[in-house]
A = this chain, B = another copy of it.
Amino acid sequence: MPELRHDPIQKRWVIIASERGRRPDDFPRRSEHPPGGFCPFCEGNESKTPPEIIALRNGSGPNQPGWQVRVVPNKFPALRIEGNLDRRGVGIHDKMNGVGAHEVIIETPRHDLNLADAPVEQIQQVIWMYRERLVDLLRDLRLKYILIFRNYGAAAGASLEHPHTQIIATPVTPLALSQELISAKEHFLQKERCLFCDVLQQELESRERIVAATEEFVAVTPFASRFPFEIMLVPRHHHHSFAEISDDMIRHLAHILKEVLLRVKKCLNNPPYNFLIHTVPNVKVRPRRSDYWDTIESDFHWHIELMPRLTRIAGFEWGTGFYINPTAPEEAAKYLREVEL
């Protein structure tokens, strides 16, 4: 059983996935995916993944060919869905069992059709599936946070080339999310306004960091971007939860996501990247201070973070949480805007 452990110095939870049991010789040095080779996510190889959780299909049976989007449990999960948390102390430390979920959304039967190049209708189906899995996982009251993220390219951590997104559901709220929730809450308590709405309004007034904008979404390079060409994609109007996105908004999101991914691809020569959806934690699981949750619909604003992986993160960044970004976000936005689509 994987374990969650808490560091009393950094106040941070870590998953010790000992079932992945890496020994000293198990860390490969390869930097790219080997070309060719067998792919368990391709159509026809359905029996090579764990049995599917859900799929969008044209009438064919489960775990058969004939699907558009398919969701399976991760074969080497960082967290497991069975069991109890069994929280306990180990002297000064804390731990609990690694209960959670780790799923893979296979975005297309085609090995070589990446999200940036896929038709908008397909991107729409993928986003629809994000919502579907999020809503389902939120029913499990052991799970505090559900993170939907996409790694593109080996250098961004994708271990398989076939287009896919991952979902990890955790029994604690991750640190970066806690900080966002706290910042947003503090801002709301002071001003009775959403922090993200305020940031967005300022960006729309200055326009110098806008990458793309539609009637429902805005993509900007954040004022204090950690990474060159980092992008935040935000609903233009206030929405706290990705789980509540409407079908109509999904259509809008598919359009701007394709535009942004294409701009990144063309501007930066198809770079590796990560993107992640930041949404509210599982509001059905109330923390001890339950009044804390009372304003969450007004104070948090869901969004997507997209980070091209262009620079190596070195010792300074790891050791400090303090980043050096060699490209001003105003410059990055300008380059991205000027791409011909």
Closest B residue to A154 by beta carbon equals: B312
Interface mask (A183-204 → B, CB under 8 Å = 1, otherwise 0): 1100100000001101100100
- Contact surface of A with B, Cβ cutoff 8 Å: 5-18, 20-25, 27, 31, 78, 90-93, 147, 149-151, 154-158, 166, 168, 170, 172, 174-177, 179-180, 183-184, 187, 195-196, 198-199, 202, 206, 222-226, 228-229, 267-269, 271, 274-276, 278, 305, 307, 310-316, 318-329, 331, 335
Question: Hey, which chain B residues are within 8 Å of A184, CB to CB?
Answer: 9
Closest B residue to A32 by beta carbon equals: B31
The docked-state distance in angstroms from the alpha carbon of A154 to that of B16 is 27
Copies in the complex: 2
Known: A27-B271, A278-B319. A22 touches B150 (CB 8 A): no
Question: Is B324 in contact with A78, judged by CB distance below 8 angstroms?
Answer: yes
Question: Is B15 in contact with A325, judged by CB distance below 8 angstroms?
Answer: yes
The answer, among B6, B10, B17, B154, for a CB contact under 8 Å with A326, is B17
Closest B residue to A4 by beta carbon equals: B224
Rounded to whole Å, the gap between the CB of A325 and the closest CB of chain B is 5
Question: Is B78 in contact with A149, judged by CB distance below 8 angstroms?
Answer: no
The docked-state distance in angstroms from the alpha carbon of A25 to that of B229 is 12
Question: Is B151 in contact with A314, judged by CB distance below 8 angstroms?
Answer: yes
Question: Is B323 in contact with A23, judged by CB distance below 8 angstroms?
Answer: no
Known: A184-B9, A310-B27, A328-B18. A315 touches B151 (CB 8 A): yes
Closest B residue to A27 by beta carbon equals: B310
The answer, among B311, B313, B322, for a CB contact under 8 Å with A13, is B322
Known: A199-B9, A199-B92. A224 touches B18 (CB 8 A): no
The docked-state distance in angstroms from the alpha carbon of A157 to that of B324 is 12
Question: Hey, which chain B residues are within 8 Å of A328, CB to CB?
Answer: 16, 18, 21
The docked-state distance in angstroms from the alpha carbon of A228 to that of B22 is 8
The docked-state distance in angstroms from the alpha carbon of A93 to that of B330 is 14
